[in-house]
């Protein structure tokens, strides 16, 4: 109610809202002072005015919040801290009058300011002379600290004040010369003592609910932005689909990618060269028993490969210091951990084979093997946070590996939240030293771009099962069948190469020849077995 007026004045003054707010911010000091001065007079008015002026700039950014009814309901709670210095006020505030007075005095600061600024008088202002007078009477009484036996007069003054308020409201509603904001203020004031036009207001409310603009205000702090973007029911998106767009196929993707030239190549190279400068530092950290972890946006595979080269060049004796590179992003290899460990074992001693078994057993025997040799292994792991390595068992094995003093461990991490992979004990056994290595270079092998995007869009991937599918099938086969497949694919590729010049559409390989080769490599012993194996691949011999 009261705020309505204020808004109008602000408009009238043609001052920016912010400036008036700034002034409002200065006010509490005044009011606070006056509270202390006049507190003992037993007038609750001043103290409550204080509350309201607080509530006004508590939510300076958000008009909705200002008008919320909750605001009106809570002043007493909020009042307490500011009341604290004068204990007598606390008892006063609980008297029933407090609430009644509230509406009256809130307005005073702005009104006083209005007169002081000497703006041009307007119709409303002139009409309000009685009201102003009564308000002034009220203020003066408070200032003078007159005791409350003149209550009758005061009540009259209050009465005048209130009625003029109502008048004004009606004027406002009828006049409609104010902005949307103002009306909203009116509507948002449910505790108005005025009995009039409830129905009218509500009718208006329906018509004038504030349209939420789809673009949030700029430069919101992150948490605000989160709530703005997560408003209930706000997730309105258009119904456009990508149906008009021909989605990329793998072939097209790779074909186009080959021709695409990144305009930032020079910049990326420059960035790389900066990272390369810190190679010796990393090497030093590694030599001191730390593990190095590189993070930041962009693929770090090429960088790590360069680092491997750097290490290789600086190693004086390659037989007791070897480098193993592990690609964590390789998908669908359930046995990858086993692969990694056995490769490391091979790096230690090519003749030795690790005992088969669970990774823990392998790790133990690897440890034994390492302690038997005087050797340092640098393990370079690309994408430690890649999906295949995210299972907890993997990380603890890796941590053990990294904790071994003979292992120097370097890894890269691509996702922003990779640190969540490790608990404190894993982290301390990794003993990581982190470096920001933002490379901006594209993830080429790490990601299967087309499949990923199609999955993201909920489309069926074109390739059935993709790499996972192939790996799954291959894994489920016998050794011989796999070898035969290897042979077959090799043969087909050779023929394709040969026939590339001629116009062979469907290159074929000769059945007899494949069979002979298979026999030579001990894949199968009889033609019967050969045919059975071939059936796995659903090739009927006629196709050959």
Least distance (Å) from another protein to the CB of residue 475? 14
Please tell me whether residue 356 binds another protein under the rule CB under 8 A: no
Q: Is 536 helix (H, G, I), strand (E, B) or coil?
A: helix
Given candidates 179, 393, 508, 541, which one binds another protein under the rule CB under 8 A?
393
In the window 69-88, what residues touch another protein (CB under 8 A)? none
Given candidates 96, 121, 199, 263, which one binds another protein under the rule CB under 8 A?
263
Pick between residue 45 and residue 296 the one whose CB is nearest to another protein. 296
Please tell me whether residue 417 binds another protein under the rule CB under 8 A: yes
Write down how long the chain is.
544
Stretch of 321-329, 505-513, 519-527, 532-540 lying at the interface with another protein (CB under 8 A) = 321-329
Q: CB-based contacts of 190: which residues, under 8 Å, 6+ apart?
A: 69, 72
In the window 114-133, what residues touch another protein (CB under 8 A)? none
Given candidates 108, 448, 485, 509, which one binds another protein under the rule CB under 8 A?
448
Using only C-alpha atoms, what is the Rg of the chain?
Answer: 40
Which residue from 371, 431, 378 is spatially nearest to 408, judged by alpha carbons? Answer: 378
Least distance (Å) from another protein to the CB of residue 302? 8
281: tokens are 């530092």
Least distance (Å) from another protein to the CB of residue 339? 5
Half-sphere exposure of 165 (CA within 13 A, CB side): 26
Please tell me whether residue 416 binds another protein under the rule CB under 8 A: yes
Please tell me whether residue 465 binds another protein under the rule CB under 8 A: no
Q: CB-based contacts of 207: which residues, under 8 Å, 6+ apart?
A: none
Given candidates 319, 502, 506, 542, which one binds another protein under the rule CB under 8 A?
319
Angle of helix 108-117 versus helix 2-13 axis, rounded to 10: 20
225: tokens are 């932005």
Given candidates 433, 471, 519, 529, which one binds another protein under the rule CB under 8 A?
433
What does the alpha-carbon distance between residue 369 and residue 352 come to, in Å, rounded to a whole number? 9
Given candidates 457, 493, 494, 500, which one binds another protein under the rule CB under 8 A?
457
Which residue carries 């009341």 as its tokens? Answer: 83
Query: What is the distance in angstroms between the CA of the first residue and the CA of the last residue of the chain?
Result: 90
Least distance (Å) from another protein to the CB of residue 147? 21
Quick one: residue 383, left, alpha or beta (phi over 0 = left, psi -120 to 50 = alpha)? left
Given candidates 179, 280, 465, 469, which one binds another protein under the rule CB under 8 A?
280
Give the count of beta carbons closer than 10 Å to the beta carbon of residue 372: 11
56: tokens are 């006004």
Least distance (Å) from another protein to the CB of residue 368? 9
What does the alpha-carbon distance between residue 137 and residue 150 come to, in Å, rounded to a whole number? 12
Please tell me whether residue 295 binds another protein under the rule CB under 8 A: yes
Please tell me whether residue 472 binds another protein under the rule CB under 8 A: no
Given candidates 452, 497, 498, 510, which one binds another protein under the rule CB under 8 A?
452
Stretch of 25-33, 99-107, 112-120, 314-322 lying at the interface with another protein (CB under 8 A) = 314-322
Least distance (Å) from another protein to the CB of residue 158? 36
Instruction: Kindly tell me the sign of the dihedral angle through the C-alpha atoms of 283, 289, 291, 292.
Output: negative
In the window 197-256, what residues touch another protein (CB under 8 A)? 215, 221-223, 225-226, 229-230, 234-242, 245, 248, 252-253, 256
Pick between residue 20 and residue 431 the one whose CB is nearest to another protein. 431
Least distance (Å) from another protein to the CB of residue 370? 14
What does the alpha-carbon distance between residue 292 and residue 295 come to, in Å, rounded to a whole number? 10
Stretch of 28-36, 113-121, 129-137, 281-289 lying at the interface with another protein (CB under 8 A) = 281-289
Contact 211, 63 (CB under 8 A): no
| Interface pattern 371-390 for another protein (x via CB under 8 A) | ---x-x---x----------
CA distance to 165, 420, 446, 491, 502, per residue, from 497 (Å): 93, 48, 28, 10, 10
Pick between residue 4 and residue 396 the one whose CB is nearest to another protein. 396
Pick between residue 137 and residue 449 the one whose CB is nearest to another protein. 449
Please tell me whether residue 312 binds another protein under the rule CB under 8 A: yes
Please tell me whether residue 293 binds another protein under the rule CB under 8 A: yes
Contact 64, 210 (CB under 8 A): yes
Concatenated DSSP letters for 389-424?
Answer: G-SHHHHHHHHHHHHSTTEEEEEE--STTGGGG--H
Q: Is 96 helix (H, G, I), strand (E, B) or coil?
A: coil
Please tell me whether residue 471 binds another protein under the rule CB under 8 A: no
Least distance (Å) from another protein to the CB of residue 453? 5
Q: What are phi and psi of 447, to 5 degrees?
A: -115, 145
What does the alpha-carbon distance between residue 320 and residue 103 come to, in Å, rounded to a whole number? 86
Please tell me whether residue 267 binds another protein under the rule CB under 8 A: yes
Pick between residue 34 and residue 320 the one whose CB is nearest to another protein. 320
Contact 24, 16 (CB under 8 A): no
Stretch of 15-23, 53-61, 318-326, 474-482 lying at the interface with another protein (CB under 8 A) = 318-326
In the window 135-164, what residues touch another protein (CB under 8 A)? none
């Amino acid at each position: 109610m009261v705020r309505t007026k204020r808004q109008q004045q602000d408009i009238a003054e043609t001052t920016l809202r912010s400036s008036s707010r700034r002034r409002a911010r200065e006010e509490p000091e005044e009011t606070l002072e006056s509270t202390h001065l006049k507190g003992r007079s037993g007038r609750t008015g001043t103290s409550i005015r204080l509350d309201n002026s607080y509530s006004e700039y508590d939510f300076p950014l958000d008009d909705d919040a200002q008008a919320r009814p909750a605001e009106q309901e809570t002043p007493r709670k909020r009042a307490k801290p500011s009341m604290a210095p004068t204990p007598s006020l606390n008892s006063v505030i609980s008297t029933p009058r407090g609430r009644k007075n509230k509406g009256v005095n809130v307005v005073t600061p702005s009104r006083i300011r209005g007169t002081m600024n000497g703006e041009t008088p307007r119709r409303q202002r002139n009409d309000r002379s009685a009201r102003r007078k009564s308000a002034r009477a009220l203020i003066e009484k408070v200032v003078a600290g007159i005791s409350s036996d003149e209550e009758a007069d005061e009540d009259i003054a209050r009465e005048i004040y209130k009625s003029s308020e109502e008048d004004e409201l009606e004027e406002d509603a009828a006049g409609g010369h104010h902005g949307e904001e103002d009306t909203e203020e009116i509507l948002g004031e449910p505790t108005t003592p005025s009995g009039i036009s409830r129905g009218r207001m509500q009718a208006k409310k329906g018509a004038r609910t504030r349209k939420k603009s789809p673009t949030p205000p700029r430069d919101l702090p992150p948490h605000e932005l989160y709530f703005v973007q997560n408003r209930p029911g706000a997730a309105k998106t258009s119904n456009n689909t990508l149906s008009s767009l021909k989605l990329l196929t793998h072939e097209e993707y790779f074909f186009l990618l080959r021709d695409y030239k990144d305009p930032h190549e020079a910049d990326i190279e420059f960035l790389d060269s900066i990272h390369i400068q810190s190679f010796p530092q990393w090497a030093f950290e590694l030599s001191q028993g730390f593990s190095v972890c590189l993070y930041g946006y962009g693929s770090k595979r090429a960088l790590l490969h360069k680092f491997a080269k750097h290490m290789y060049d600086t190693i004086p004796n390659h037989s007791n210091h070897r480098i193993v590179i592990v690609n964590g992003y390789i998908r669908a290899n359930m046995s990858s951990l086993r692969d990694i460990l056995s490769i490391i074992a091979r790096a230690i001693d090519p003749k030795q084979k690790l005992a088969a078994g669970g990774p823990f057993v392998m790790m133990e025997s690897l440890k034994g093997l390492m302690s038997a040799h005087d050797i340092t292994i640098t393990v370079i792991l690309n994408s430690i946070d890649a999906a295949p390595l995210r299972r907890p068992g993997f990380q603890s094995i890796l941590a053990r590996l990294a904790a071994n003093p003979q292992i120097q461990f370097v890894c890269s991490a691509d996702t922003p939240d990779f640190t969540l992979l490790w608990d404190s004990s894993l982290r301390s056994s990794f003993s990581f030293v982190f470096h920001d290595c933002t490379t901006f270079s594209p993830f080429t092998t790490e990601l299967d771009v087309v499949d990923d995007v199609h999955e993201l869009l909920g489309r069926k991937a074109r390739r059935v099962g993709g790499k996972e599918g192939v790996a799954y099938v291959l894994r489920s086969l016998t050794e011989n069948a796999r070898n035969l497949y290897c042979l077959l694919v090799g043969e087909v590729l050779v023929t394709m190469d040969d026939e590339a010049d001629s116009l062979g559409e469907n290159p074929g390989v000769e059945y007899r020849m494949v069979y002979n080769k298979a026999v030579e490599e001990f894949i199968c012993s009889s033609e019967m077995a050969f045919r059975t194996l071939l059936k796995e691949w659903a090739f009927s011999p006629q196709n050959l």
